[in-house]
Structure formats: structure tokens, C-alpha cells
């Protein structure tokens, strides 16, 4: 068997895993009823105003996204030719897209929290969807093939953006359905876990992808416990504010992975 044939055989488990995730997502869209907006997004417990800024804590807690996005983007640009960070030049583009999306999350989420409104929530979710899908493209490039990751970057980003556009359209003109956006978010996470389980990393610190997902899961728990955390901490900080800070830390972990990693020569 030639080396090319061996490589194709090794790609098969990951390809089947990706197809399985996609099939589950399609089945969910076809058979599950429309999913309306969860109640926790219709109001947040911490509505304090400071320095003339409404919902101050939920607004300013988005600033770490801006810092991580800017520094992450600058790091990728600076190390684009460093073959210990990006063995293939194609691998840098998903990360550039991801860090731009992370920076834009600061503005989108801040805009939404200044005046809680579904129109603002659209701008909150749009960069998040792009960030999830670009990170998936990055993992595909590193675990399967760099050129495949680059080819899938634009389609995945369009799917992510389309899920948010569809949600907003369904809320305005039909029965509100958040399901496609949920599938984009949680389906991309599931796909990353499948790829990490089935493929060896091309770089050191490959387990950081799992760490990123675990940290983000903790952020979602804080989001669900918004009011409980707020009152447990003496009305100083809410669960949703913590969600922003923990999720920003998850994005920092992506940047940290790039800073620390090097090519695994005996892959």
C-alpha cells in the first residue's frame, strides 16, 4: 500500500465522524419542533447602571474578548511564517478569522447588553457563530488536511452566519426557531471533540482544544445560574457576567495554545 493510500485510510474515521455529526444535525432540523428563545435571554438579573452605562457589568465584562482578539490576531500575523506555529501557511487563515470574530464579539455583545433587544442579540450571536465555525475549520486543517480546512473555512463561516440570519428571520416573520444556531454552536463543539478523539495532533498542546471546550462549558453553566450566582455573591457579580469572563478565558486558551505549541516531529 502506498503512503497516499495509507493517508486516505487514516482519514476515513474522521470523515465518517464528521458525516455522523452532520447527519445528526440534519435529523434534528428535520424532526425537532422549532426552538424559541430561552427565558434567560429575555432578561438578566444584574441591571445596575454605573457611569451612565446601563447593565454596566454585563457590558464591560466583554472587554477581554477585544483584548484576546487583537493580541491573537497580531500573534498569527507575526508568526505566519513560523513553521513551528503553522506548519502549513493555509492553517493561519481560520485562526485569523477566529480572532477577528472574538474581537467583534466584544462589540456585538456590548451593544446587545446596553439595551436588551432581539435586534441587538443578532449582533451578539453573529460573531460568535463565525468564531465557532472558523475554529472548527482550524481543527479540520490540523487534524485532517490543511487545504481541506482552508476550503471549508468560507462554507462553514457562511453556515454559521446563515444560522443566525435564519433565527432572526424566523423571529420576525415566522415561528421563532433557534435550533439551527444551536446546532452550529454545539455541533461545531461536537465535531471538534470527534476530530480530537480520532486524530493525533500535528502540534504539541493539542489537548488544549478539549480544555477550551471544557472552559466554555463552565461558562454556559454560569450563564444558566445567572441569578443564583448573583445572590450567592451578595449581588456583586452575576452568572452572566461570569459567563463573559470565563468564555473570554476560553478564547485566551486558544491563543495560549498557539504561543506554546511546536510541530510534533514523530507524529
Alpha carbon 247 to its chain centroid, in Å, reads: 9
Computed over every residue of the chain, the mean pLDDT equals: 87
Q: Give pLDDT, residue 3.
A: 40
Q: Give pLDDT, residue 42.
A: 63
Return the DSSP state at 33: P
Q: Give pLDDT, residue 214.
A: 96
Q: Which residues partner with 53 through β-bridges?
A: 50
Q: Which residue, among 243, 212, 241, has the nearest Cα to 95 in the 3D structure?
A: 212
Question: Which phi and psi angles does 262 have, rounded to 5°?
Answer: -150, 165
Q: Give pLDDT, residue 175.
A: 86
Domains parsed from the chain with CATH numbers: 3-260 (1.20.1070)
Longest dimension (CA), the chain: 70
41-76 burial, b for 16+ CB within 10 Å, e for fewer?
beebbbeeeeeeeebbbbbbbbebbbbbbebbbebb
3-state helix, strand, coil in the chain (%, to 5): 75, 0, 25
Contact of 212 with 34, CB cutoff 8 Å: no
Low-confidence ranges of the chain (pLDDT < 70): 1-32, 39-42, 265-267
C-alpha cell belonging to residue 93: 487563515
H-assigned helices in 32-145: 56-60, 63-78, 92-114, 118-143
- Give, in degrees to the nearest 5, the angle at Cα 245 between 223 and 189: 65
Contact of 237 with 248, CB cutoff 8 Å: no
Is the overall model pTM greater than 0.85, yes or no? yes
Amino acid at each position: 500500500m502506498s503512503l497516499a493510500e495509507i493517508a486516505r485510510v487514516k482519514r476515513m474515521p474522521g470523515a465518517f465522524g464528521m458525516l455522523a455529526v452532520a447527519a445528526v444535525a440534519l435529523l434534528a432540523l428535520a424532526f425537532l419542533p422549532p426552538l424559541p428563545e430561552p427565558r434567560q435571554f429575555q432578561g438578566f438579573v444584574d441591571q445596575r447602571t454605573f457611569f451612565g452605562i446601563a447593565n454596566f457589568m454585563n457590558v464591560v465584562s466583554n472587554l477581554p474578548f477585544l483584548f484576546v482578539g487583537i493580541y491573537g490576531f497580531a500573534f498569527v500575523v507575526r508568526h505566519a511564517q513560523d513553521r513551528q506555529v503553522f506548519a502549513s501557511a493555509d492553517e493561519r487563515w481560520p485562526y485569523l478569522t477566529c480572532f477577528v470574530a472574538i474581537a467583534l464579539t466584544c462589540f456585538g455583545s456590548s451593544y446587545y447588553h446596553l439595551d436588551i433587544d432581539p435586534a441587538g442579540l443578532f449582533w451578539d450571536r453573529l460573531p460568535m457563530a463565525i468564531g465557532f465555525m472558523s475554529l472548527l475549520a482550524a481543527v479540520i486543517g490540523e487534524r485532517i488536511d490543511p487545504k481541506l480546512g482552508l476550503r471549508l473555512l468560507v462554507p462553514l463561516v457562511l453556515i454559521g452566519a446563515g444560522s443566525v440570519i435564519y433565527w432572526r428571520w424566523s423571529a420576525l416573520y415566522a415561528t421563532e426557531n433557534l435550533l439551527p444556531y444551536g446546532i452550529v454552536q454545539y455541533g461545531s463543539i461536537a465535531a471538534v471533540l470527534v476530530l480530537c478523539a480520532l486524530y493525533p495532533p500535528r502540534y504539541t498542546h493539542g489537548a488544549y482544544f478539549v480544555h477550551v471546550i471544557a472552559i466554555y462549558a463552565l461558562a454556559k453553566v454560569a450563564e444558566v445560574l445567572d441569578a443564583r450566582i448573583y445572590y450567592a455573591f451578595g449581588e456583586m457579580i452575576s452568572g452572566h457576567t461570569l459567563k463573559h469572563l470565563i468564555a473570554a478565558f476560553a478564547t485566551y486558551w486558544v491563543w495560549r495554545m498557539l504561543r506554546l505549541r511546536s510541530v510534533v516531529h514523530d507524529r
